[in-house]
């Protein structure tokens, strides 16, 4: 009961299909999945052979994620609190020759400042798929990302909550040299 899941599964799956295609999801990739919820997205990445690591704050969501993706590394807590574990996992994956990708689906407040700082200054994943439920925080976060080392490849709106003012947006970004 305490775990959140998108209500219109077909639209959510469409957004995951687009992200997976953008990632060229394969066993050559390792994907950090922040705000991973019940593990639906992690299941998608692992099904295609990627190593996955997720972070989620909700205990019930974590229990579901562990059932959905038993091979994933999953940490409970705010993503900003788990930056040390994320750093270590990413370094181990890079040492193993993996391409690092990032999928984020944060709450309305957006990506936490500490996490954004890690992404642009240290983590520097090759690609980012960012599913946002707030145009305002998406804009602020994209400003940080594009002023550092990313460019927006595509923005795709999704009406996950029909007959409301809420529109989700999938932003696809790739790393560029600056």
Residues taking part in catalysis: 133
In whole angstroms, give the CA distance from residue 131 to residue 116.
Answer: 15
Report the candidate in 29, 85, 21, 17 with the shortest Cα–Cα distance to residue 56.
85
In whole angstroms, give the CA distance from residue 77 to residue 36.
Answer: 11
Report the candidate in 47, 43, 18 with the shortest Cα–Cα distance to residue 170.
18
- With beta carbons less than 8 A apart as the criterion, state whether 144 and 119 touch: no
- With beta carbons less than 8 A apart as the criterion, state whether 135 and 167 touch: yes
- With beta carbons less than 8 A apart as the criterion, state whether 29 and 101 touch: yes
């Amino acid at each position: 009961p305490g775990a959140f899941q998108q209500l219109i599964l077909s639209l959510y799956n469409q957004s995951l299909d687009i992200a997976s295609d953008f990632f060229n999801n394969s066993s050559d990739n390792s994907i950090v999945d922040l705000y991973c919820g019940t593990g639906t997205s992690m299941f998608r990445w692992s099904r295609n052979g990627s190593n996955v690591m997720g972070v989620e704050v909700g205990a019930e969501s974590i229990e579901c994620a562990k059932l959905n993706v038993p091979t994933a590394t999953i940490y409970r807590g705010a993503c900003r609190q788990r930056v040390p574990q994320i750093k270590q996992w990413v370094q181990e994956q890079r040492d193993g020759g993996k391409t690092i990708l990032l999928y984020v689906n944060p709450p309305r407040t957006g990506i936490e400042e500490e996490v954004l700082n890690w992404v642009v200054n240290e983590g520097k994943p090759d690609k980012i798929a960012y599913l946002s439920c707030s145009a305002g925080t998406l804009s602020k976060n994209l400003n940080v990302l594009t002023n550092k080392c990313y460019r927006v490849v595509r923005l795709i709106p999704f009406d996950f909550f029909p007959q409301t003012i809420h529109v989700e947006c999938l932003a696809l970004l790739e790393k560029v040299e600056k």
